[in-house]
């Protein structure tokens, strides 16, 4: 990776953020910059989701600043983002990194003591500060993420404390993001050195066919809990369900065994099945084999066991001192992950009923939509003769990989003209557009990954056959409807809740206009008809947003927008547009 590669990628990152908004500076660009990073990290499994929201406040001689936040599904881990953009791959020294991180720490500390009480309710960051304050009693850990297009000179920062909570720091600079984006893989490589978790593990090795090998071992319960603590959702990324809470009969049984008969956990529990792309072993003088490290460990069956043990360990680390978990680790060549791992997941999972839709990672639906997007040319906009593709990115980072394959600047420029960044869309985008058009905005507001799960189970699982050209055109038209509406609302500067206001406004238009929205016409025009775009300002400002911010009992607006009751209330409004 050369300096010129990083500068080119930084420019691409800037273009990508710029394509999401009509401004290259200010609060709107800050949000677009965070969204660009977010999509990579959600796909990677480093985060569950993030809500962009910019806040900067003077606090005495310090500054409190944040660019967004997220909460784990179980409500115990807070993620806060701080960002630095405009560096264009120049070096950011350790002192500057520390000063930037400190601004996020001050923000977290102020949220604990009620920063939102000092803010106007129309402030874009008010929902973020209010929500963090509300969930504070349940938090056990804070993770501060630095997103920057600079090259940082520090590899990592040791854990510390922020507002009396354990705090870890994730530094995502342009070099690290480039490695992730250009690898064409689903996640950044992780290497687990067992010396850092109590030492090597005795194991039995078994050779499979040419595609894989197997290791059988017994994992200490504390090891599983600590791995989950460090790697979170990434550890379960290829699991058929991202289980993050101790819920359901099986999970209660796990908790009961740990509590009442921890020594029998090995006998009672089926253990975990996992995959890795590499494993290091050593043979001891007595002939026994020990496992010393694993690369890209993924738990494909046993996510419930892992998360339940982590949940118990958080409350009482000593509770797992005698717990042992049987494990089968299949070492798979990286190029075969997408083929073998879904099959291993399907056959290994037997604890609960598994829906076919859960095994969606490499389905014909996504493969065919990708192929169509590469071959179908969109109509040239009025006044132009240049046609383009709408590029479906089935795996995050494909665009960067395809771009890097073009060997000259001229060829790369042609690729970008034919596949504009503003016309690139991914799986979670399709989920958002489809569910909005199906009048389910409350599901869209759940966040990228949750929305994707709902769409996979309720829409893709029911899809008959594979996508065709008409389907692609309709998806693109829904994208244009959603994104153009979003930009109109963004320019209105209504304050916070851009995402909910957009999703609910589009859903209400679909509800009231019905066939009045001609998707084929939107596709042909590659734009929103003026008669529809003219409806957006009044609809968003006078109809939708007032009802969204009027949460029952003065509750949190962000949480209110996730409830079906919010949509049902909006459906009662007397708004009948005439076209």
In this predicted structure, which of 73-77, 487-491, 534-538 has the lowest mean pLDDT? 73-77
CA 43 → CA 131, 240, 267, 433, distances in Å?
25, 15, 36, 18
Residue 298 phi, psi dihedral angles, 5° rounding: -135, 125
How far apart CA 570 and CA 511 sit, in angstroms, is 11
DSSP character string of 329-387? EEEE-GGGHHHHHHHHHHHH--SS---GGG--TT-HHHHHHHHHHHHPPBPPPTT----
pLDDT recorded at residue 343: 63
Q: Which of 294, 298, 310, 306 is nearest to 351 (CA)?
A: 306
- Position 39 confidence tier, pLDDT thresholds 50, 70, 90: confident
Three-state DSSP class for residue 89: coil
Q: Which two tokens stand for residue 346?
A: 């399907």
Q: What is the pLDDT of residue 301?
A: 80
Number of Cβ within a 10 Å radius of residue 282: 10
Alpha-helical (H) ranges within 492-544 are 498-513, 519-525, 530-533, 536-538
Per-residue pLDDT, averaged over 496-518, amounts to 92
Give the tens place of pLDDT for each residue, 85-116.
999 999 999 999 999 999 999 999 999 999 99
Q: What pLDDT does 369 receive?
A: 93
Confidence class for position 515, pLDDT limits 50, 70, 90: confident
Q: Are strands 62-71 and 424-426 parallel, antiparallel or unpaired?
A: unpaired
* Band of residue 147 on the pLDDT scale cut at 50, 70, 90: very high
**215 pLDDT more than 90:** yes
pLDDT classification of 249: cutoffs 50, 70, 90: very low
pLDDT band for position 445 (50/70/90)?
very high
The candidate with the shortest Cα–Cα distance to 393, out of 418, 374, 413, is 374
Is pLDDT of 344 > 80?
no
**Is 528's pLDDT higher than 70?**
yes
Tokens linked to 212: 């894989």
Distance CA 121, CA 555 (A): 12
Of 356, 347, 256, residue with least CA distance to 301: 347
Report pLDDT for 169: 94
Over the stretch 49-59, which tens digit does the pLDDT of each residue have? 888 899 999 99
Contact residues for 470 (Cβ-Cβ < 8 A; gap 6+): none
250: confidence class by pLDDT, cuts 50, 70, 90: very low
pLDDT average, residue stretch 513-523: 91
Range of lowest pLDDT (8-22, 211-225, 439-453, 460-474): 8-22
User: Residue 22 gets which letter from DSSP?
Assistant: S
DSSP 124: T
- Residues in Cβ contact with 476 at an 8 Å cutoff, skipping those fewer than 6 apart: 378, 390, 523
């Amino acid at each position: 990776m050369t300096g010129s590669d990083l500068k080119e990628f930084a420019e691409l990152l800037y273009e990508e953020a710029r394509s999401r908004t009509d401004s290259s500076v200010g609060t709107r660009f800050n949000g677009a910059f965070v969204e660009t990073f977010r999509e990579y990290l959600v796909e990677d499994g480093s985060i569950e989701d993030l809500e962009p929201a910019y806040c900067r406040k003077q606090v005495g001689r310090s500054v409190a600043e944040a660019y967004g936040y997220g909460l784990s599904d179980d409500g115990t881990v807070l993620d806060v983002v701080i960002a630095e953009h405009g560096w264009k791959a120049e070096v950011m020294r350790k002192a500057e990194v520390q000063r930037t991180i400190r601004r996020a720490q001050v923000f977290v500390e102020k949220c604990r003591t009620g920063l939102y009480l000092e803010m106007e309710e129309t402030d874009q960051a008010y929902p973020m500060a209010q929500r963090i304050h509300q969930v504070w009693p349940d938090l056990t850990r804070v993770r501060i993420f630095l997103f920057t297009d600079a090259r940082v000179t520090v590899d990592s920062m040791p854990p510390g404390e922020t507002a009396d909570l354990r705090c870890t720091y994730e530094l995502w600079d342009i070099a690290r993001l480039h490695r992730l984006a250009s690898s064409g893989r689903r996640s950044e490589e992780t290497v687990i050195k067992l010396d850092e978790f109590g030492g090597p593990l005795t194991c039995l090795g078994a050779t499979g066919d040419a595609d894989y090998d197997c290791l059988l071992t017994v994992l200490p319960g504390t090891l599983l809990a600590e791995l989950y603590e460090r790697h979170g959702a990434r550890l379960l990324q290829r699991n058929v369900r991202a289980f993050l809470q101790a819920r359901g009969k099986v999970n209660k049984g796990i908790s009961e065994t740990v509590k009442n008969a921890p020594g029998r956990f090995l006998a009672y529990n089926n253990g975990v099945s996992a995959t890795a792309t590499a494993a290091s072993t050593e043979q001891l003088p007595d002939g026994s084999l020990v496992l010393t490290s694993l690369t890209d460990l993924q738990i494909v069956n046993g996510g419930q066991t892992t998360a339940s043990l982590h949940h118990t360990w958080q409350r009482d680390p000593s509770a797992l001192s005698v717990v042992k978990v049987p494990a089968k680790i299949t070492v798979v060549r990286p190029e075969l992950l997408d083929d073998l791992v879904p099959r291993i997941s399907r056959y290994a999972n037997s604890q609960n009923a598994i829906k076919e839709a859960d095994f969606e990672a490499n389905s014909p639906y996504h493969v065919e939509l990708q192929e169509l997007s590469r071959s179908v040319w969109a109509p040239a906009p009025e006044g132009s003769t240049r046609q383009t593709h709408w590029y479906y990115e089935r795996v995050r980072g494909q665009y960067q990989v395809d771009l890097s394959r073009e060997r000259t600047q001229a060829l790369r420029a042609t690729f970008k003209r034919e596949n504009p960044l503003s016309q690139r869309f991914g799986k979670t985008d399709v989920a958002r557009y489809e569910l909005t058009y199906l009048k389910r905005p409350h599901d869209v507001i759940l966040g990228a990954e949750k929305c994707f799960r709902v769409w996979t189970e309720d829409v893709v699982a029911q899809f008959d056959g594979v996508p065709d050209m008409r389907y692609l055109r309709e998806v693109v038209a829904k994208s244009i409807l959603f994104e153009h509406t979003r930009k109109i609302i963004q320019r209105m500067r209504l304050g916070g809740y851009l995402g909910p206001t957009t999703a609910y406004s589009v859903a209400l238009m679909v509800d009231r206009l019905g066939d009045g929205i001609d998707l084929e016409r939107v596709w042909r025009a590659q734009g929103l008809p003026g008669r529809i775009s003219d409806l957006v300002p009044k609809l968003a400002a006078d109809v939708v947003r007032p009802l969204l911010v009027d949460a029952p009992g003065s509750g949190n607006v962000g949480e209110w927008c996730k409830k079906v009751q919010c949509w049902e209330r909006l459906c009662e409004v007397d708004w009948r547009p005439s076209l």
